[in-house]
């Protein structure tokens, strides 16, 4: 099979698995929102610079950097669409956990996840359509599939927006219960989501084995540039170390689960898109943990020198 065959290959993912993914993503978002206290959000809004830099990094700079990378690498159209989809998604829920491990500003990380999630209702479909239509090789695929942007907005609202609002409300009325539920939900839902990704890959093992080396390097470069984008823009705006780490992590760890759901729903599991988003979902956990470990090791070295 040639690389271009990925533009026509479809990843197997049945309707019941798709519904399960909908529910799991909703629970993941609900679990994240349960941790958000309104006073914490108010503190962030009183000094909004780090939040605005994070939004700039995630919704403007990362899609732009992705577009430049696509033009340099010239991947096959379905892989390019997968890259645009991942870049258009908000930060992933595991970013809050990685921020905690990296001794980043966890309150900023959670606030960015919340704000980016609400913005994603409009920005994810908008960014994806805008940048993918600027890359000529991907235009025929987009036209052939004829995505309904309004339907995409509705789905993102249901999967991300409603659970976020519900989680904020529960935390407001019962904070102790919310924190207990959050720990359980985030762990359980993340486990089930990772299991679903592996099941999808296992059911399509031949496709995965044939193309993994091609996708592997693209995801590594793309993910590295995502982290570098968040880090660079934070430094340019003179943010603190903790804020810089939070924005770096939020930009480098994307909600690839949402990307996969949109790919299976609107693109019928288009091979290149699904493979790239699925591998990104696995790799960004590894790269995030490596980055947190590196930062912690650097801190330890400085303390030992003192």
* CATH, residue 204: 1.20.1530.20
Q: What is the pLDDT of residues 145-187, one digit of tens each?
A: 656 667 777 777 777 778 878 888 888 888 788 878 877 776 7
**How many domains does the chain divide into?**
1
The CA–CA distances, whole Å, from 213 to 101, 208, 210, 216 equal 30, 9, 8, 5
Distance CA 286, CA 18 (A): 25
* Averaged pLDDT for residues 3-23: 61
Q: Render the burial of 27-65: b for 16+ CB within 10 Å, e for the rest.
A: bbbbbbbbbbbeebbeebeeeeebbebbbbbbbebbbeb
Query: Is residue 8 domain-resident?
Result: no
Which residues form the domain of 175?
A: 14-295
Query: Is residue 306 domain-resident?
Result: no
Query: Is residue 3 domain-resident?
Result: no
For the entire predicted model, the pTM comes to: 0.83
Distance CA 124, CA 302 (A): 40
What is the per-residue pLDDT for 1? 45
Query: Of residues 231 and 190, which shows the higher confidence score?
Result: 231
Query: Is residue 34 domain-resident?
Result: yes
Q: Which of 1-5, 75-79, 174-178 has the lowest mean pLDDT?
A: 1-5
What is the per-residue pLDDT for 4? 58
Query: Is residue 303 domain-resident?
Result: no
Distance CA 50, CA 28 (A): 24
* Averaged pLDDT for residues 70-91: 91
Query: Is residue 305 domain-resident?
Result: no
Report whether 36 contacts 167 (CB < 8 A): yes
Q: What is the pLDDT of residues 33-68, one digit of tens each?
A: 777 776 666 666 777 899 999 999 999 999 999 999
Where are any strands of DSSP class E within the chain?
Answer: none
Query: Is residue 141 domain-resident?
Result: yes
Per-residue confidence band for 117, with pLDDT thresholds at 50, 70 and 90:
confident
SS (H, E, C) 5-70: HHHCCECCCCHHHHHHHHHHHHHHHHHHHCCCCHHHHHHHHHCCHHHHHHHHHHHHHHHHHHHHHH
291: Cα separation from own chain's centroid: 16
Query: Is residue 304 domain-resident?
Result: no
């Amino acid at each position: 099979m040639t690389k271009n065959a990925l533009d026509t290959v479809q990843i197997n993912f049945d309707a019941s698995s798709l519904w399960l993914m909908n529910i799991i993503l909703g629970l993941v978002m609900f679990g994240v929102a349960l941790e958000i206290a309104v006073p914490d959000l108010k503190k962030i809004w009183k000094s909004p610079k780090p939040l605005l830099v994070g939004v700039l990094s995630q919704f403007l700079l990362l899609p732009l950097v992705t577009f430049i990378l696509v033009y340099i690498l010239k991947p096959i159209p379905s892989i390019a669409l997968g890259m645009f989809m991942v870049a258009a998604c908000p930060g992933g829920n595991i970013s809050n956990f990685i921020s905690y491990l990296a001794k980043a500003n966890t309150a900023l990380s959670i606030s960015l996840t919340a704000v980016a999630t609400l913005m994603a209702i409009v920005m994810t479909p908008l960014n994806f359509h805008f940048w993918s239509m600027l890359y000529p090789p991907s235009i025929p695929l987009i036209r052939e599939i004829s995505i309904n942007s309004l339907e995409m907005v509705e789905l993102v609202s249901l999967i991300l927006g409603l659970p976020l609002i519900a989680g904020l409300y529960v935390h407001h009325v019962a904070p102790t219960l919310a924190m207990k539920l959050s720990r359980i939900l985030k762990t359980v839902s993340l486990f089930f989501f990772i299991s679903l990704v592996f099941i999808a890959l296992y059911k399509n093992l031949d496709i995965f084995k044939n193309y993994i080396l091609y996708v592997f390097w693209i995801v590594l470069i793309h993910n590295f540039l995502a982290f570098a984008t968040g880090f660079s823009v934070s430094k340019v705006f003179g943010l603190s170390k903790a804020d810089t780490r939070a924005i770096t992590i939020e930009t480098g760890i994307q909600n690839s689960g949402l990307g996969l759901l949109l790919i299976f729903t609107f693109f019928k599991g288009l091979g290149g898109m699904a493979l790239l988003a699925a591998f990104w979902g696995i790799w960004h956990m590894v790269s995030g943990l490596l980055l947190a470990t590196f930062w912690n090791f650097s801190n330890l070295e400085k303390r030992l020198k003192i």
